[in-house]
Structure 1
Amino acid sequence: METAALIVVLVIALALFFDFTNGFHDTANAMATPIATGALKPKVAVMLAASLNLVGAFLSTEVSKTISHGIIREDQITPLAFLPIIFAGLIGAITWNMLTWLLGLPSSSSHALFGGLIGATLVGASLQAIDFGMVLSKVVLPALIAPFTAGVIAFLVTRLAYALTRRYDDKPDGRDGFRWGQIFTSSLVALAHGTNDAQKTMGVITLALITAGWQNAAHADPQLWVILACAFTIALGTYMGGWRIIRTLGKGLTDVKPAQGFAAETSTAATILASSALGFALSTTQVASGSVIGSGLGRRGSTVRWRTVGRITIGWVLTLPASAAVGAGAALVVVWFGQWGILVDAIIAVVIIVALFLRSRRSHVDSSNAMSEVADSGLAVKVTRNPPPTLRQRAARRAAERADAQRKGGSR
């Protein structure tokens, strides 16, 4: 019993650390485009996102039920065997989160978690312990449909936004009004992120409590202290800011202008809120990336950097199998060493996390140097002292130059 209690404590601690990595990994989903366009200052943006993540975590628990009472058939696994499986799955998810953060790839924390749990379950239990019907309907299909849907919505909203504001075409992207719209829509995305991603850690902790017999299996709702812990942890992680991924989403996919940012954030928020209401544990990162790509395609003259899109897509494809492989390896250690394997896994996890963090210090990215590379498009919402001339002004200048030249020619 004491061993089981210790494992539960370790699972809760590791789950909260995953929640923290989820926060800083996914800050870019809400705040990359408003930072890129200059609508929000970097530190203000992450503070706003953290606050709204905190609020959003209290608004819905549907996604947590998908994890705590969905993809894993816990009734087919003994409690003593299931707790190490959860622990191993979290190691797989955290490892992938840290690696993709180091590479600046906006991959899915959600799919890393699912992959880690599935891989650990396959090794630590059996194939029958996974509800593949639930995985397909609640995880895989939303992963395929949501980014495409968000991209189409962002494309259409971008086209509509530029069509309605066509009178500003002779100005240097003077659609400054979308700056305020971006602040609202990015705030909505941050709120939606809290309603979806914070729930996943709640689901994992609730699953551990049910497995240990500390919570009634008939009630999959997370307890109040679980909601509080997960809400504050993901908010703290969001406040830390994943600047590497903010740089990729803000500038790496396309040069984001205010109207594009507004369209992308609107699409992202709508898609995530709808999925949270339906209990779909989709990837907010994939939705945000799809929205940014769609907005880039929607603005005439904009260029989408397909090489970066390709790198991100490869990351998406590898997320489930890679995190599953790490989770399976961690579970295999437990199979080999028994209860001592959990301690070995914990030590290995700490070594991996510290090594990846130290590696990141060689090319440190924070709010100051990330923005120097991201915010070129921020000029779109700043009033310059000497703005470029309009088409009418340039035509008038050329006419004056020709008239002056004619006068000089006649005086000769």
Structure 2
Amino acid sequence: MLDAALVMLCLVILAALLFDYINGFHDTANAIATCVSTRALSVKAAIVMAAVLNFAGAMISTKVAGTIGKGIVDSSNVTQMVVFAGIVGAIVWNLITWYYGLPSSSSHAIIGGIVGSVFAHAGLGALKWAGLKKIVLALLISPVLGTIVGFIFMLIIYRIFGNKSPGGLNKNFRRLQVLSAAFMAFSHGTADAQKSMGVITLALVSYGFLKTFVVPWEVMVACAAAMALGTAAGGWRIIKTVGSDFVKLQPVHGFCVETASAGVILGASAMGMPTSTTHVITSTILGVGLSKRLNAVNWNVAKRIIVAWILTIPASALMAYLTYQVMSPLLGK
């Protein structure tokens, strides 16, 4: 006779790894869009590099995982069904935005999903509002910081290399951009794979397999591998939106975008703050574009991106809420 709770735990783990895989190909653009659009790397070479460094970055720390697993809701108010419904809500929204080529935030999606499923299970009182406020504040500040850092970094580059010929400058920065893309891919791993690590560990605590919230190394490896495999699958729809439709980039711009974005993401990850890598890199691209001129930015694409950003948390929360209401009578709470 199968243990129903164990079966539910297995479903949660599989769903979380699927989310990580989807996050990998959904957010491939974060790491490689700019170096592909500037032809610093071929699509295949960029995806392989991003997959390897995403895995490496994911194995470095679990601070973000702890913030996701402990900062939104107390584990006493979490069941396997709550975690499962939250993940499903995030997955559905990620697939919708991937289909339409919109670089929405997987971080926002998983947070919205958990909020929606917890609300369906135990009401708003079960949420940790102080921790949730801290997480949302970090997610809101990071794109603003990305825009500012990208803008200032690009101005510094202009000041230092302003007397160089565009051809020679871009040739040199095309080489440097391989390093900056690697830096960005590594930082992406430190941030995004840890969301699923936190969710799976939360499920293990809820089941009773773990007594305290400590991410097991097996969970780290599984989540890192799932994201790396997803990254290897690629995500050309979003790569095109971020890398070429939003702002036309030259290698010098791509280097600036990737270096500035990676710096913001790694700094936040070191403090355990779950930034949206999607928001950071698109906002940094915006900052670099604004350093050129206002009409260097495709504002129609910018509007589509902003709409996706605004909708992500409520949309994924709603989908998780509905998933819980539909599935809990069938699978149990």
TM-score, length basis structure 1: 0.78
Q: Which position in structure 1 is the counterpart of 2:178?
A: 183
Deviations 1:122-167 (CA, angstroms, capped at 9, x unpaired)? 01122121111111112x1112211111111111111111222222
Shift of 1:173: 7.2
The answer as to whether partners of 1:47 and 1:239 remain within 8 angstroms in 2 is yes
User: How far apart are the structure 2 equivalents of 1:72 and 1:136?
Assistant: 12
SS for the counterpart of 1:168 is: coil
Gaps of 5+ in 2: none
Q: Which position in structure 1 is the counterpart of 2:164?
A: 168
Q: Which position in structure 1 is the counterpart of 2:257?
A: 264
Shift of 1:302: 6.3
Deviations 1:26-69 (CA, angstroms, capped at 9, x unpaired)? 11111000111111111000000000001111101000101222
Note closer, same or farther for the CA distance 1:260–1:302 as it changes in structure 2 (3 Å cut): farther
User: How far apart are the structure 1 equivalents of 2:77 and 2:238?
Assistant: 39
User: How far apart are the structure 1 equivalents of 2:207 and 2:201?
Assistant: 10
Q: Which position in structure 2 is the counterpart of 1:244?
A: 237
Shift of 1:338: 4.2
The answer as to whether partners of 2:169 and 2:252 remain within 8 angstroms in 1 is no
User: How far apart are the structure 2 equivalents of 1:76 and 1:248?
Assistant: 39
The one-letter code of the counterpart of 1:106 is P
Sequence identity, in percent? Answer: 41
Deviations 1:287-336 (CA, angstroms, capped at 9, x unpaired)? 0100111111112586101111111000000000000000000111134x
1:339 partnered with 2:324? no
User: How far apart are the structure 2 equivalents of 1:47 and 1:97?
Assistant: 22
1:286 partnered with 2:279? yes
The answer as to whether partners of 1:159 and 1:298 remain within 8 angstroms in 2 is yes
Deviations 1:98-133 (CA, angstroms, capped at 9, x unpaired)? 000000000000110010110011011221211111
- What is the 5 A alignment of 1:171-250? 171-172=166-167, 174-217=169-212, 220-250=213-243
The one-letter code of the counterpart of 1:28 is A
The answer as to whether partners of 1:162 and 1:259 remain within 8 angstroms in 2 is no
Deviations 1:49-98 (CA, angstroms, capped at 9, x unpaired)? 00000111110100010122221112245xxxx11011111110000000
User: How far apart are the structure 1 equivalents of 2:7 and 2:294?
Assistant: 58
Deviations 1:347-368 (CA, angstroms, capped at 9, x unpaired)? xxxxxxxxxxxxxxxxxxxxxx
Q: Which position in structure 2 is the counterpart of 1:91?
A: 88
Is 171-180 or 142-151 further displaced after alignment?
171-180
SS for the counterpart of 1:310 is: helix
User: How far apart are the structure 1 equivalents of 2:27 and 2:116?
Assistant: 23
SS for the counterpart of 2:171 is: coil
SS for the counterpart of 1:137 is: helix
User: How far apart are the structure 2 equivalents of 1:327 and 1:173?
Assistant: 52
1:299 partnered with 2:292? yes
The one-letter code of the counterpart of 2:298 is R
The one-letter code of the counterpart of 2:83 is I
The answer as to whether partners of 1:158 and 1:298 remain within 8 angstroms in 2 is yes
SS for the counterpart of 1:14 is: helix
Question: Of 152, 156, 170, which residue of structure 2 is paired with 1:156?
Answer: 152
Structure with bigger RCO (C-alpha 8 Å, 6+ apart)? 2
Q: Which position in structure 1 is the counterpart of 2:269?
A: 276
Shift of 1:168: 2.6
Question: Of 106, 111, 126, which residue of structure 1 is paired with 2:108?
Answer: 111
Shift of 1:205: 0.5
Note closer, same or farther for the CA distance 1:31–1:120 as it changes in structure 2 (3 Å cut): same
Q: Which position in structure 1 is the counterpart of 2:60?
A: 59
1:120 partnered with 2:121? no
Q: Which position in structure 2 is the counterpart of 1:378?
A: none
User: How far apart are the structure 2 equivalents of 1:172 and 1:40?
Assistant: 18
The one-letter code of the counterpart of 2:210 is Q
User: How far apart are the structure 2 equivalents of 1:301 and 1:97?
Assistant: 30
User: How far apart are the structure 2 equivalents of 1:157 and 1:70?
Assistant: 33
Shift of 1:182: 1.2
For the aligned residues, what is the CA RMSD? 1.5
The one-letter code of the counterpart of 2:118 is T
Deviations 1:379-404 (CA, angstroms, capped at 9, x unpaired)? xxxxxxxxxxxxxxxxxxxxxxxxxx
The one-letter code of the counterpart of 1:204 is V
The one-letter code of the counterpart of 1:43 is K
Gaps of 5+ in 1: 343-412
Note closer, same or farther for the CA distance 1:312–1:127 as it changes in structure 2 (3 Å cut): same
User: How far apart are the structure 2 equivalents of 1:275 and 1:302?
Assistant: 31
User: How far apart are the structure 1 equivalents of 2:86 and 2:42?
Assistant: 37
Larger Rg: 1
Note closer, same or farther for the CA distance 1:314–1:300 as it changes in structure 2 (3 Å cut): closer
User: How far apart are the structure 2 equivalents of 1:104 and 1:46?
Assistant: 17
Q: Which position in structure 1 is the counterpart of 2:43?
A: 42
The one-letter code of the counterpart of 2:145 is T
1:146 partnered with 2:146? no
The answer as to whether partners of 1:107 and 1:316 remain within 8 angstroms in 2 is yes
Q: Which position in structure 2 is the counterpart of 1:71?
A: 72
